[in-house]
Amino acid sequence: MNQNFTRISGTGNTFIFFNNIDLKFTSDKETRKKMVIDLCQNYDGINSDGFVFCDPSQTHNFKWDFYNSDSSEAEMCGNAARCAAIYYYYKIKPEKKIKFESRAGLIECEIINIDDLIVKTKMPNIFDQDKIPKVKIDDTIIRGYFVNTGVPHYVLQAEPDLELAKKIRSAKEFGENGTNVTFIEIDDSDYMHAITYERGVENFTLACGTGAVAAASFFKHINIEYDGEI
């Protein structure tokens, strides 16, 4: 079956969207997951970080069914939410304010400037702050900050370390689904540099909205005043 897909980039994160509000495609999970892997990983030239099916909702604009590029399901993605608002405006209905259902709850987006594609997204309330303050990796205790900003993040104030991120991501302390791992650094110009190793992508990504919220939450949690930019 031929299908029309749209690929959108939000701050370097790329996502494929499919309009299924009219129920033209199956809701079978295994069929969808195979399609996600085929398009996000195997199709030359359009490798993407995630895939979003926009399914019908009885109460809001749509319900999204979100998958990481490895076909694992995720509760929330900040950059994909912003991209979803642009997708809905251009491909479904030209509304600047939308609400959609996600596994993290109701997500609200507003297009502030359609010409410059600027979108504001209300992120889910954070929870589980510092629930897992330390993790054992190769007989070494790693002390970080854990927070769920729609998806779980373990935050470390350190230089990015890919191999360490891979080990933390699947550490037993985080259960079967694992966690995202966000590294943060602050330079002399009051900029916070944050980079996230995303589970499901299994690598660092160019941007991460939930990771940016996790980084900001880290400083509030440890009572450090930070007025710079992420």
Name the one residue in this structure whose structure tokens are 């990983």: 41
Q: Could you report the per-residue pLDDT of 37-92, keeping only the tens digit for each?
A: 999 987 766 789 999 999 999 999 999 999 999 999 999 999 999 999 999 999 99
pLDDT of residue 230: 46
Q: Which two tokens stand for residue 93?
A: 């209905």
Catalytic residue among 54, 83, 109, 208: 208
Q: Which two tokens stand for residue 222?
A: 């440890």
pLDDT < 50 stretches in the chain:
1, 226, 230
Pick the CATH number of 134-221 from 1.10.340.70, 3.10.310.10, 3.30.360.10, 1.10.357.10: 3.10.310.10
pLDDT of residue 131: 85
User: Hey, do 6-122 and 134-221 end up sharing a CATH topology, with the first three levels equal?
Assistant: yes
pLDDT of residue 118: 96
User: Which helix (H) or strand (E) covers residue 78, if one does?
Assistant: helix 78-87
Tell me how far apart the alpha carbons of residues 124 and 127 are, in angstroms, rounded to a whole number: 9
Catalytic residue among 40, 54, 77, 109: 77
40 as an active site residue: the answer is: no
Please state the domain extents for the chain.
6-122, 134-221
pLDDT of residue 219: 80
Q: Say if domain 6-122 classifies as CATH 2.40.40.20.
A: no
109 as an active site residue: the answer is: no
pLDDT of residue 226: 46
pLDDT of residue 45: 64
User: Which helix (H) or strand (E) covers residue 54, if one does?
Assistant: strand 50-55
Tell me how far apart the alpha carbons of residues 83 and 209 are, in angstroms, rounded to a whole number: 12
User: Which helix (H) or strand (E) covers residue 6, if one does?
Assistant: strand 6-10
